[in-house]
Amino acid sequence: MSQYQSEINRRRTFAIISHPDAGKTTLTEKFLLYGGAIAQAGQVKGKKNTRAATSDWMEIEKQRGISVTSSVMQFQYEGYCINILDTPGHQDFSEDTYRTLMAADAAVMVIDGAKGVEPQTRKLFKVCAMRHIPIFTFINKMDREAMDIFELLDDIENELGIATCPVNWPIGSGKAFKGVYDRNTEKVLLFSDTEKGTKEGEELDLSINDPQIDSILDPGQKEKLMDDIELLDGASAEFDQELVSQGKLSPVFFGSALTNFGVETFLKHFLQMTTSPLPRKADVGLIDPMEEEFSAFVFKIQANMNKAHRDRIAFIRICSGKFTAGMEVYHVQGGRKQRLSQPQQIMAQDRKIVDEAYAGDIIGVFDPGIFSIGDTLCMPGRQIKYEGIPTFAPEHFARVRQIDTMKRKQFVKGIEQIAQEGAIQIFQEFNTGMEEIIVGVVGVLQFDVLKYRLENEYNVDIRLEPLPYEHIRWIENEDIDMSKLVGTSDMKKIKDLKGRPLLIWANAWSVGMTLDRNPGLILSEFGQ
């Protein structure tokens, strides 16, 4: 096997998804710790003497203790090269998560052992199911009182419509949590508490029949464990690697990210059960990652990660071939050759310049303002286009006005740049220029982030005036005369940044009315 193939074979790229506060960012920190990427794991809400989490780098994230943008981290562990995509759990930023999932080959779903499946988990899961991504479940916070484990598994199966197969089983929960039993090796992994944030804790690996166990477990814990296992063997689905790869069966693991119980054993199993980078769909068919020719797509754009330089980074997922610094590629949507400058691997906001990267890797390249989300990059002389990343329909709208009219230039630049990242969508009245800007977002929290970022990054104060519209549709007809469209009294004609016509309404029934009044009109809920 060539060096090039073995490099691709050792790549693993996955996203971590969950409801807010289920412990996703904490788990990411522990992975990085095992990979030697950081020396001490951070906490999401940093106390005086603890570090903030590596993946939460925006000031607003540290203040609120939530992630508002996806971040990308790479580390090495036991011969594997792992790319983690940490996604925001909060539903107001779900669009960022959807896009990130497009760049992942597998997903780790973190569930809070006390709460079970929560609304946001459901939404994200649907996206994974749509793409048939393998899903691994980590049931977290076992160091707190948890739901009945069988109920929890039923909850996952019923809510998400996916079969589960516990790879290990918890012994107790809350204060009585002693460790996990591995069903495959029939061994018990017992833990002692670790210093917060470090990985050195005592782990005892004993056979279930070892007499020592009786002295460690609370009375009755061993009998309960044996009963649970017997019940499990009869009731749970058999492990089937094929079904896991198709996203129809989810292996389940238990532990506590905060105290570091069960994290490493989960990581080891996960690496064995996942595959190296998968082929990707393009307009010419499936593109094999082992192909020699480089190809990639942009799935995220982030402006101002480095305040000193006011730069924009385009995150790209390499789908085939090898990337080398300074190479010339063809930007398909822009129709021109482009040298990718300052290629870097990103560890949240810390970065290091990379000389080479392979299929499966995520790298950041400098964006002079030419890339959009979903763009394809490939070798000159070749024309391929990866499938587009859909734009989700915003549900909240507001009119944006700058307070100081002298700062017009900064205002337009700021709002356009933030819109190119995909967190907000901006529209204009159909017949006007940039005087009237309407902003559409998936969740209201994004308005706060927009206001905060315009003030802090572009020095522009704005006033937001909420609008009553809730429903938006893209017009699919090629040659449409907007002036002849007959709508309803609550309808507004607008256009997006690319000049495409759209319609917004305050009431759901008006959408049907408009279609009835304009025969032949084709509307779509997603923009491409």
- Tell me what percent of the residues of the chain surpass a pLDDT of 90: 9
Of 5-19, 52-66, 181-195, 215-229, the one with minimum mean pLDDT is 52-66
Sign of CA dihedral 498, 503, 507, 510: negative
DSSP helix/strand/coil, 224: helix
Tokens of 245: 């790869």
pLDDT(68) > 50:
no
Model confidence at 397, in pLDDT bands (50, 70, 90)?
Answer: very high
CA distance 422 to 443: 13
Give 190's strand partners.
179, 204
**Helices assigned H by DSSP within 316-431:** 408-420
373-411 burial: b if 16+ Cβ within 10 Å, else e: bbbbbbbeeeebbbebbbbbbbebbbebebeeeebeebb
Tell me how far the alpha carbon of residue 324 is from its chain's centroid: 26
Q: Write down how long the chain is.
A: 528
Domains and CATH numbers, the chain: 14-273 (3.40.50.300), 280-378 (2.40.30.10), 396-524 (3.30.70.3280)
Question: What pLDDT, on a 0 to 100 scale, did the predictor assign at position 1?
Answer: 55
Give 175 or 319, the one with higher predicted confidence: 319
Bridge pairing between strands 396-402 and 462-467: antiparallel
Q: State the helix-helix crossing angle for 119-131 and 94-102, rounded to 10 degrees.
A: 30
Both tokens assigned to 92: 């107001």
Eight-state DSSP code of residue 479: S
Amino acid occupying residue 118: E
pLDDT band at 20 (very low <50, low <70, confident <90, very high): low
In angstroms, how far apart are the furthest CA atoms of the chain? Answer: 84
Residues linked to residue 86 through DSSP beta bridges, in sequence order = 16, 71
- More confident site: 456 or 29: 456
Confidence tier at 306 by pLDDT (50, 70, 90): low
Task: Give the helix, strand, coil percentages of the chain, each rounded to 5.
Answer: 25, 30, 40
Handedness of CA 407, 411, 417, 418 (dihedral sign): positive
In sequence order, the 6+-apart residues with CB closer than 8 A to the CB of 234 are none
Mean pLDDT for 375-399 is: 83
Asked if pLDDT for residue 514 goes beyond 90, the answer is yes
Asked if 166 and 137 count as a contact pair (C-beta separation under 8 A), the reply is no
Among 448, 457, 389, 447, CA closest to 417: 457
pTM for the whole structure: 0.75
Sign (positive or negative) of CA dihedral 414, 420, 421, 425: positive
The whole-number pLDDT of residue 407 equals: 86
> Does position 202 have pLDDT exceeding 50, yes or no?
yes
pLDDT at 15 over 90: no
Q: Which tokens belong to 163?
A: 């079969």
pLDDT of residue 123 exceeding 80: no
What are the pLDDT digits (tens) for 99-108? Answer: 778 888 998 8
Segment 38-44 mean pLDDT: 40
Please give the Cα distance from 428 to 438 (Å, whole number).
Answer: 6
